[in-house]
Amino acid sequence: MLKTPDGTVKSTTSTTSNGEFLFPSVISGRYILEAWQGTAIVPEQSVSIFITKDGTITPAEIKIFLKPSSFALHGLIKLDSTKEPLGGIDISILQGTVIKATTTSTFEGKFAFTDLPSGLLTLLASGSDFLPATAVVQIFEDTTALQPEPEIYLTRKISIQNQFSIQSYLRDAYSAGPLEFVTVTLKGFASTITDRYGYFFLGNLAPGQYNLECTKEGFNQLNGTIVINSDGSSTIQQAYYMIYTMETGVGSVVGRYIIPNNETAYGLPVAIYAIHDISKDAEKRLWALTSPKSPLKTTVTGADFARPGSSDETGVFKFTHLLPTTEYAKYLIVVSEDKYSATATIPLEGLGDLPSLGSGTPDISLNPPSDKQFYFIVDVTAGKTTFVTNYEQENF
């Protein structure tokens, strides 16, 4: 509002969204500029202005600083076990024992309060299926606050009559090997992480339908539905298989090495090398190790930590993030039956010194030079997985 010193109102206006205001066609003279917020005049709300006949305004730049008379509070409601947002939760805000306002969280778990007074305030969150939880917020006179965006975590109530559980395994869809550190979530209820066997367990569950979500970096997210019946039985599978996310421009190799009449082909060292043809003769290849002539990657077959009685992972190995091969550049995979060897090894001076590998078809190896080692020469295609097994080779 623009007034003369005697209190006569000359003009009124409102600020724009960016705080600017304008009084057009104002004649010379002395004025008082007053600002309101809401229904009350707030501190530091007036400025004296003098306009000369030539249009000069003093002060040249007019700024009015308004102090908020109330405080707005925003926060989140989450489930403590999964950190998921919870919607439909009732939230009350109290000053002492007096309820100042109530609201309900959105489906994103968000809530907000406006026009809050300064002082010590308590937030109370509650829902029919959850134990109540509180948070304390201190709002100061200058409208700053301790914990201005509180997060409140709720715990689901547990029914003593219906404490059921589920358990299963997460495996690699290509190799059937166990997947460790998979985050397994029953949406809105509970969450856990698989152990080194790919095993997970979730308890304190009531009968009903649950949405299962399994996530692990490098794998496609797995989603499913599980029903727990009133007798405790459920539709959970014995194992779930997650698919490796193939990155653009690279491929992978999955293999299985079996020792005849022996089911202990796990924990065997496996190494993969880059090799290239130095003969450039399609009729007679001569493969040599590509510098630096050391393994690109190493692993072990299956899982030497496989659960007793489980042979699904026996002899399985996997290499990922491999660049595609060409006619003259491929990969050599070496499996050693010596569990105590750090890695599978081959002569570093080159494969040309091994007659059995110096010629022949490039996709298989014949007659390994040692009873303790086996060789695969493999191709890799971008976006695909190459499968190899020793029991399909002629020398098995």
Both 201 and 283 in one domain: the answer is: no
Mark which of 242, 259, 277 sits at the end of a domain.
Answer: 242
Same domain, 187 and 277: no
The one-letter code for the residue type at 140 is F
171 lies in some domain: yes
Q: pTM score > 0.85 for this model?
A: no
Burial of residue 125 (number of CB atoms within 10 Å: 0-12, 13-18, 19+): buried
Number of domains in the chain: 4
Residue 63 belongs to a domain = no
pLDDT score for 68: 58
**Does one domain contain both 107 and 197?**
no
Q: Domain check: are 279 and 382 in the same one? A: yes
User: The domain that contains 187 carries what CATH number?
Assistant: 2.60.40.1120
Separation between Cα atoms, residue 238 and residue 245, nearest integer Å = 23
377 and 307 in a common domain: yes
Q: Does 191 share its domain with 281?
A: no
Q: Are residues 186 and 118 in the same domain?
A: no
CA proximity to 362, closest of 380, 350, 346: 380
Please check whether residue 136 lies inside any domain of the structure.
Answer: yes
Residue 341 pLDDT: 52
pLDDT of residue 309: 41
Find the domain containing 186 and state its range: 164-242
Residue 17 has a pLDDT of 76
- CATH code where residue 104 lies: 2.60.40.10
Does 321 reside within a domain?
yes
Q: Residues with Cβ < 8 Å from 353, sequence gap 6 or more? A: 347
Q: What is the pLDDT of residues 139-195, one digit of tens each?
A: 887 667 777 789 999 998 876 666 889 999 998 877 778 899 999 999 988 899 999
What's the pLDDT at 321? 86
Below-70 pLDDT ranges, the chain: 36-44, 66-70, 142-143, 159-162, 246, 260-264, 303-313, 338-372, 391-396
User: Are 274 and 387 contained in the same domain?
Assistant: yes
pLDDT in tens, 49-99: 888 988 888 888 887 776 655 678 899 999 998 889 999 999 999 998 899
